[in-house]
Structure 1
Amino acid sequence: MASRQARGVLNFVASSLVRSSAAPRALIALPYSAAVRAACEVAGGPPNGFTLTESQGDCLVTLTKEHQGETVTIELIAGSETEDEEFEIPDHDHEAEEEVEEGPAPATPFSVSIVKGDTEMRFEVRVRGDGSMEVDEVTLPPADEDEEAFNEVPYQGPRFEELDEGLQAELLHYLDERGVNADLAVYITALNFDKEQREYTQWLERMQAFVAQKA
C-alpha cells in the first residue's frame, strides 16, 4: 500500500494534470487577439518558411530556413524569460478575472544565427511584453578555425541600442528580409509557452509513474 506521503503526491499530481485552466504566463500581457493568433500559428506550424525541430524532454527548440544561400537558425530555450522593465502587466480590477501580480511583464529571449559559408552573424533578441521584437546585441563570432587566433576575450561590439539609429534600422530590415519579424515574434512567444507546458505535463506524468511504482 502506498504511504500517506506517496498518496498525497499522487493526488496533487493527478489534480495538476487535470487542472489546465491557468492562463499562459508568456501570453498574459498580450492583447487577446494576439494570444489567439499565436495559438493558431503554433498549431499551423512556424511562419515565414521556417522548419521546427524539437525533441521530447529537451528544452532547446530550433527553427531553421535557407535564404539565398544563407542558413538562418533560431534557438529558443523553452521556459526562458527575462523581465521587460519598460512594459508592465496591467492591473485589471475585476472580480471575475484571475488575479495577476503587478510588475514587469515577461520577455522571451531567443538567438538568431545567420551563416554564410564559414562566417556568422548572431543576434540576441527578445519578444517584449507587448509582443514587439527588440534586438539586444549583434555579434560576429570567429570561424571555428580562427578561434585560436582570437584573444581570450574578443571584442563583441556595442549594445544594439548604442548603434547609430540608421544602422539599427538597416539591421532590423536585414532580419525582416530573412523572416525574423513581428509574425515570428508572436509565434515564438506562443511556442515558448506551449513547449514548456508540454514538458511540464510529461514531467508530472513521469513523477506520477515513479511514485506509484512498487519498489
Structure 2
Amino acid sequence: MSRFIRSAHRIFLSASRTLTNGCQPRIATANSLLHSKPNATCNTHKSPFTANILRILGNEIEYQLDYAPPHQPATSFNSFTVQDRPGEKWMTMRGKHGDKEEIKLEVTMFDGCAVVPKPGEDSTEENMLLHISLLVDVSKGQGCPELEFLCSAWPDRLEIQKVYLLNRDKVITNPYMGPDFRKMNEKLQKTLRDYLEARGVNNELCVFLHEYMMNKDKIELIQWLGNVKSIVEK
C-alpha cells in the first residue's frame, strides 16, 4: 500500500502543471471565467448544444461560489507548515521534533469511506465516514534509516496501518517491511501511537485534515469547472 501511494505520488508530481498558488487567485480565475463573454462573432458560431453546455457549467460554478464557498487554505497547523498542491490530490506538511528530527506528512484527499451505525441503541440509520490516507516520515538526518508510518485519518481519530523502516541510501531488492501493525503486541502498538502523539500526529490533526480536504475539494472542483468552461468556449 505504501509503495502504491508513493508511486501514485510520483505520477501526480510528474503530471502536475505550474498553477497559481493560493485559494483566492484560483477562485477569482474561475469567477472570471464564469462572467467572461466571448465576442459577438464567436457567439454566432456556437451551436445550441455548446451554448447549453456553457450555461450549465456557468450555473454550476455560480452555485459552488455562492453556496458554502471555499476559504483561504491554512498554511500551518500547530507546529507544522502546510504546502498545498494546486491541481493535485495531495498536500504536504512539514515539522520538527527536537533538534534532529524532521517530520514530513504526505496526505491524500478523500480516497475511501466506511459506513457505520449511528449512535443509539434503537437507531437503524447509518453514518458515512470519509477516509484519508496519511504517510508520516520521521527522519534523523542523512545516513540514518527513516521510520515511515502508513496511517488512516478518520474524521475523529488516527489509525496506524503499517510501520516501515526505510534506508533510502541502500537499494534492497526484497526488504523486510515489518509486521502488520494490528498483529503487534498491544503494548508495542500503544508505544508507537504515543510516539506519533508526541510529534503532533494525533486525533486533533485528523480533524484538521478533514476540514482542510473538504475545502480543497471545493477549490479543485471550482477550478476544474472553470477550466472545462474555458476549453468549451474556445
**How far does residue 103 in structure 1 lie from its aligned partner after superposition?**
6.8
The verdict on how the C-alpha distance between 1:121 and 1:43 changes in structure 2, with shifts beyond 3 A counting, is same
Shift of 1:13: 1.2
Distance (Å, rounded) in 2 between the aligned partners of 1:117 and 1:194 = 34
Distance in 2 of aligned mates of 1:76 and 1:156 = 21
**Quick check: 1:207 aligned with 2:232?**
no
**When the two structures are aligned, how many residues end up with a matched partner?**
181
Gap runs ≥5 in structure 1: 24-38, 92-100
C-alpha separation in 2, matches of 1:61 and 1:44: 11
Pairing 1:183–2:227 present: no
- Alignment correspondent of 1:71: 102
The answer for the alignment partner of 1:132 in structure 2 is 157
State the one-letter code of the partner of 1:52: V
Higher RCO (CA < 8 A, seq sep 6+): 1
Q: Alignment identity in percent?
A: 25
Pick the structure with greater CA Rg. Answer: 2
TM-score (norm 1): 0.74
8 Å contact kept, 2:73–2:216: no
In structure 2, what is the Cα distance between the partners aligned to 1:22 and 1:210? 25
1:14 and 2:58 are equivalent in the alignment = yes
* Whole-Å separation in 1 of the counterparts to 2:184 and 2:85: 37
- Counterpart of 1:49 in structure 2 is 79
5 Å-filtered alignment, 1:59-208, equals 59-68=89-98, 69-78=100-109, 80-84=110-114, 87-88=115-116, 90=118, 104-118=128-142, 119-129=145-155, 131-144=156-169, 146-147=170-171, 150=172, 152-208=173-229
Residues 54 and 190 of structure 1: CA distance in aligned 2, closer, same or farther (over 3 Å):
same
* Offset at residue 212 of structure 1 (A): 1.3
Alignment match of 1:4 (pick from 48, 67, 89)? 48
Question: Is the alpha carbon distance of 1:103 and 1:5 closer, same or farther for their aligned partners in structure 2, counting shifts above 3 Å?
Answer: farther
Task: Confirm or deny: 8 A CA contact 2:116 2:127 kept in the other structure.
Answer: yes
For 1:107-147, what per-residue CA distance to the aligned partner results, in whole angstroms no more than 9, with x for missing partners?
A: 11111110111321011111225x21111111111222x11
1:205 shift after superposition: 0.6
8 A contact 1:89–1:105 mirrored in 2: no
Distance, in Å, in 2 between the alignment partners of 1:107 and 1:77 is 9
* Aligned Cα root-mean-square deviation (Å): 2.7
- The ranges of structure 1 where at least 4 consecutive aligned residues each deviate by more than 4 angstroms after the TM superposition are 42-45, 101-104
- Structure 2: gaps of 5 or more residues: 1-44, 120-124
What CA distance in whole angstroms lies between the structure 1 residues aligned with 2:52 and 2:118? 36
Distance 1:77 1:180 in 2: 15
- Is the contact made by 2:147 and 2:164 (CA closer than 8 Å) also made in structure 1? yes
- Over 3 Å counting, the alpha-carbon distance change for 1:51 and 1:89 in structure 2 is farther
**Shift, 1:210, TM fit:** 1.2
- 1-structure distance, mates of 2:187, 2:83: 35
